[in-house]
Amino acid sequence: MTAPKKLYIKTYGCQMNVYDSERMSEALGGQGYVETQSPDDADMILLNTCHIREKAAEKVYSELGRFKGLKADKPDLKIGVAGCVAQAEGEEIMRRQPLVDLVVGPQSYHRLPEMEAKAGAGEKVLDTDFPEEDKFEQLKRRPKAKRGPTAFLTVQEGCDKFCAFCVVPYTRGAEVSRPADRILREAEDLVERGVREITLLGQNVNAYHGAGADGDTTLAQLIWQLDKIDGLERIRFTTSHPNDMMDDLIEAHGTCAKLMPYLHLPVQAGSDKILKRMNRAHTAESYLRLIERIRAARPDILISGDFIVGFPEETEADFQATLDLVEQVKYGTAYSFKYSTRPGTPAAERAQVDPKEADDRLQRLQALLTRQQREVQDSMVGREVGVLFEKPGRFAGQMVGKSDYLHAVHVADCDAAVGDLRRVRILSSGTNSLAGELIG
């Protein structure tokens, strides 16, 4: 029997890339590959890249440079670059790093098996097309191997919003939603393999409008269809745009028991001038009114957000408007970044904020967000929550899982198994986690 070939995948960035990496691994499994946790013994290395963060491409080139010795020792080693940097850089990757054998964009990875065969024959292979065929339908059905209790499931890709700072419309393309029946079929397969919680993914997930039996299906309608799957206990979704938070989705947060009380709803800034320059198409006031409506439907919901500070032309008064908005919303968790230019985006050509001022603003914003996160976390002490246990903890008898609100929770002397959904009383709040005890 021929020994299986080994595949090492390093995943950068968002949850969608995590999902894509799983599907790439499955696609190459048909070519005899099994995953390995180390590049040192791999027969193929794939970097599944993200283009959102600062100097993303340069970080990929630096990572590729570390593989020169491996390639020299093992000439048959195949090295590939996938994802959004692959889409943005294309042939330039092979020109700058000749050790790369294949480059594949995020819409073409269903073609990896034929690309791998060509690379094995000594060809250099590039595919950054936006193919007409549905990549999800071209991929084989997921194998029935046992899975952990949580899984990501991509339902929508691409974005039509064209925010001035963002490369997603250029690297992922226009908004495309998967047909509802195919999502439901994949969700049922995941549940059969042990999954109890599914997070629906999309660059702009609440713009989902997949084909259904009676016309286009909204995200809320899809959630209600998923709600009917026996064995699926929890549903989440990310990432959303405020302008696509429709009435039926707000209502679902108050009426669908399986939809968890956690919502990631990026605002990016609190200044209307900056929001307009970002091309966000919402105002601070409209965002605040939206939060009010969501909390009226589900008062205990935990709100998460994204912020960019130091956006071109941002003044201290603009930044203060962001702080004011944060004070009003009271985020349970949030992600904040200093603006960095993305070549080809409108904001890259504008006058930039002094880096020292941007650094100072980021530190001030993060201090406020950290305080709010800790306050929300501390407020959980004494409450009873559901916890889906995902893995053993660091100590004997300890188990770790996620609460309804996505807080990490650890329980000592715990008789729960991986995949169990149990009620837990929260006893204490740590820096980034909660401690509790099983009830009953």
> Count of H helices and E strands in the chain?
15, 21
Q: How far apart are CA 136 and CA 127, in angstroms?
A: 17
Pairing of strands 421-429, 384-392: antiparallel
Token digits for 409?
Answer: 């929770």
What are the CA-CA distances from residue 195 to residues 259, 350, 353, 404 (Å)? 15, 46, 46, 16
Q: How far apart are CA 59 and CA 79, in angstroms?
A: 16
What are the CA-CA distances from residue 21 to residues 4, 26, 175, 366 (Å)? 19, 9, 20, 31
> Shortest CA distance to 277 belongs to which of 351, 226, 208, 177?
351
H helical segments located in 352-408: 355-378
Handedness of CA 377, 380, 385, 391 (dihedral sign): positive
Q: How far apart are CA 413 and CA 102, in angstroms?
A: 49
Instruction: Give bridge partners of residue 291 from the DSSP assignment.
Output: none
| Residue labelled with tokens 């060509």 | 118
- At residue 296, the 3 state secondary structure works out as helix
Q: How far apart are CA 132 and CA 150, in angstroms?
A: 31
Please say whether the beta carbons of 146 and 193 come within 8 A: yes
Secondary structure (DSSP) of 219-288? HHHHHHHHTTSTT--EEEEE---GGG--HHHHHHHHH-TTB-SEEE---B-S-HHHHHHHT----HHHHH
What are the CA-CA distances from residue 191 to residues 127, 194, 196 (Å)? 33, 5, 6
Angle in degrees, 0-180, between the axes of helices 316-329 and 355-378, rounded to the nearest 10: 10
Q: Which residues contribute to the annotated binding site for [4Fe-4S] cluster? A: 14, 50, 84, 159, 163, 166
Pairing of strands 78-83, 150-154: unpaired
Taking residue 114's Cβ as centre, other Cβ atoms within 10 Å add up to 12
